[in-house]
Structure 1
Amino acid sequence: MSNEEVDLKGQSLFEHLGELRTRLVYCAYILVIATGICYGFSEHIFNFIRAPIQPYLPNGGLIYTGPLDKFVAHIKIAFVCGIIISCPLWLYQVWKFVAPGLYSNERKYTIGFIFSGTALFLLGAAFSYWVVLPMAFHFLMNFGGNIDKPMISIDQYLGFFTQMCLMFGVSFELPLVIAILGMMGIVSHKFLTEKRRYAIMGLAIASAIITPPDLMSMIMMLIPMVGLYELGVFVVGIVEKKRAAEVRMNERE
């Protein structure tokens, strides 16, 4: 490995912690600004968020029991939406933190990392909103007959909705995480292939924990997660082939 490739690998623990602090501060600034922007549209966003459960509510709306509940709900909505719309910016901060652990020729993938990370996060959140949540509410709201009527509070619903969308968004980053670990040499294509059965078992457990307590929701999360894991394995294989080809080329020179 050349000096150019190890210049950033020799950072001390304090330098790494300092860099982490800097990136976290930048992420905090980004989220505050994005939250402020989204707050101006919180009413329209709330109508969009309410849509999956609205058909099952007797009066078409959620309830609240405290004078501040609705105001706090709009703050939470603005914050979650701020996380989503600022995804490319805080992903860039994540990349700046992990880039020193990569080879110099791999640090050029900044745009690809940000684009793919944003696309995967939004895909996960959209999959939760349009596929998983309607299916989950159909099961949960019709369970045990239709005599009892739901009275769902704003706070309860937002907590459930936010957890589902963010967890699916983060979970869909799996191939990107695997690819970065492969670039850093922490995992290999052979390791990921040999440990596939354990990975699938772990994904099944995670799916059961994250999703509502019905089998269909768990399966609807497990299937794409397994596919995303295989995508990550495929990308690591490509990275290793490129790295091996570059090593052979350097040896010839």
Structure 2
Amino acid sequence: MSTQQETFISHLVELRDRLIRALLVVVVVFVCLMPWAGDIYDILAKPMMDTLPEGTHMIATGVVTPFFVPVKVTMMVAFVLALPWVLFQAWAFIAPGLYAHEKRMALPLVAGSTLLFIIGMAFCYFFVFGMVFKFIAEFAPKSIVPAPDIEQYLSFVMSMFIAFGVTFEVPVAVILLVKAGIVDVAKLKEVRPYVIVGAFVIAAIVTPPDVISQLMLAIPMCLLYELGIILAGWMSKPVPAAAESAYVAPSIEDMDRELDRIEASERSDKG
């Protein structure tokens, strides 16, 4: 077996071990949370329940839906809680193959993108859901008694979580584009009007057909794009000429004067 094949197999073995370690922690957290699966789903459903008429409850149309939906929610929460460990395993696998400057850049980007994704989900849960559900409840005819299905509700909140989590990754994407040399800050500023239009188009596609949720996705996307431009410009500032090198090459005149000084010193010593 060649050295390349042995190296490839050793990388596969290490990847398998890292995945098993990450999965084990997710499973352990999931098992620990399972006794409170119903309570966890109730927390997820609170924004919707707060807008339903008094005495109204969500419904489950499937036979096993009341069991599997809370389990899915608990699994999602377990993965989010175990995410630092999962990312550490991914970092431990790829770090040996990176240069020092790549390590300095990769670690803050991974940590920052994870934090931004969680912030996007939190923004969606604490601000967007309440306003959207309240708008829908006020818009619905009085002759209708809303009774959302828990499986459809889970599908809806998951899609919204992903949409807002990915939206909050815009600064990281902008920084990566600039650092990779694909675009520069001046070009990003130039295409700003198209980005704004694109943000509203994306918001209209991935959010429910109401103005509130579309605005609450499009406006943060535009603001985060501006934040990405600011951070990318700060990170790509040219190094001042005085700081590029601590060594300044002497001129020919300086070298001649130094040689004359050395020769004069040697003659005085001999004398």
Change beyond 3 A, Cα 1:130–1:149: same
User: What is the identity percentage for the equivalent residue pairs of Structure 1 and Structure 2?
Assistant: 33
Equivalenced residues, count: 237
Alignment match, 1:241: 237
C-alpha distance in 1, partners of 2:33/2:126? 21
- What are the residue-to-residue correspondences of 1:75-224 with 2, within 5 Å? 75-92=71-88, 104-224=100-220
> Which structure has the greater CA radius of gyration?
2
- What are the residue-to-residue correspondences of 1:227-238 with 2, within 5 Å? 227-238=223-234
Q: CA deviation digits over 1:11-70, x for unaligned, max 9?
A: xxx99xx7xx87878766665555444434322211211111113435343111222101
**1:95, 1:113 within 8 Å by CA — same for their partners in 2?**
no
Alignment match, 1:41: 36
C-alpha distance in 2, partners of 1:103/1:80? 34
Gaps of 5+ in 1: 1-13
Alignment match, 2:68: 72
Of 38, 44, 47, which residue of structure 2 is paired with 1:52? 47
**Residue identity matched to 1:77:** V
C-alpha distance in 2, partners of 1:184/1:47? 44
Change beyond 3 A, Cα 1:88–1:217: same
Q: CA deviation digits over 1:126-168, x for unaligned, max 9?
A: 1111111111111222224221001211101111112112321
Change beyond 3 A, Cα 1:149–1:227: same
* Structural RMSD (CA): 3.5
**Residue identity matched to 1:236:** A
> Which stretch of the first structure deviates more once superposed, 182-191 or 99-108?
99-108
> Which stretch of the first structure deviates more once superposed, 116-125 or 67-76?
116-125
The question of 1:61 aligning with 2:57 is answered: yes
Q: CA deviation digits over 1:106-134, x for unaligned, max 9?
A: 42245533442233122211111111111
> Which stretch of the first structure deviates more once superposed, 164-173 or 106-115?
106-115
C-alpha distance in 1, partners of 2:99/2:192? 27
Normalization by structure 2: what TM-score? 0.72
> Which stretch of the first structure deviates more once superposed, 81-90 or 24-33?
24-33
Change beyond 3 A, Cα 1:250–1:72: farther
Change beyond 3 A, Cα 1:34–1:188: farther
C-alpha distance in 2, partners of 1:68/1:53? 22
C-alpha distance in 2, partners of 1:181/1:235? 12
Gaps of 5+ in 2: 1-7, 249-271
C-alpha distance in 1, partners of 2:98/2:207? 34
C-alpha distance in 2, partners of 1:76/1:167? 19
> Which stretch of the first structure deviates more once superposed, 106-115 or 140-149?
106-115
Q: CA deviation digits over 1:56-91, x for unaligned, max 9?
A: 435343111222101110121022213422333445
Q: CA deviation digits over 1:88-111, x for unaligned, max 9?
A: 344556767887998632422455
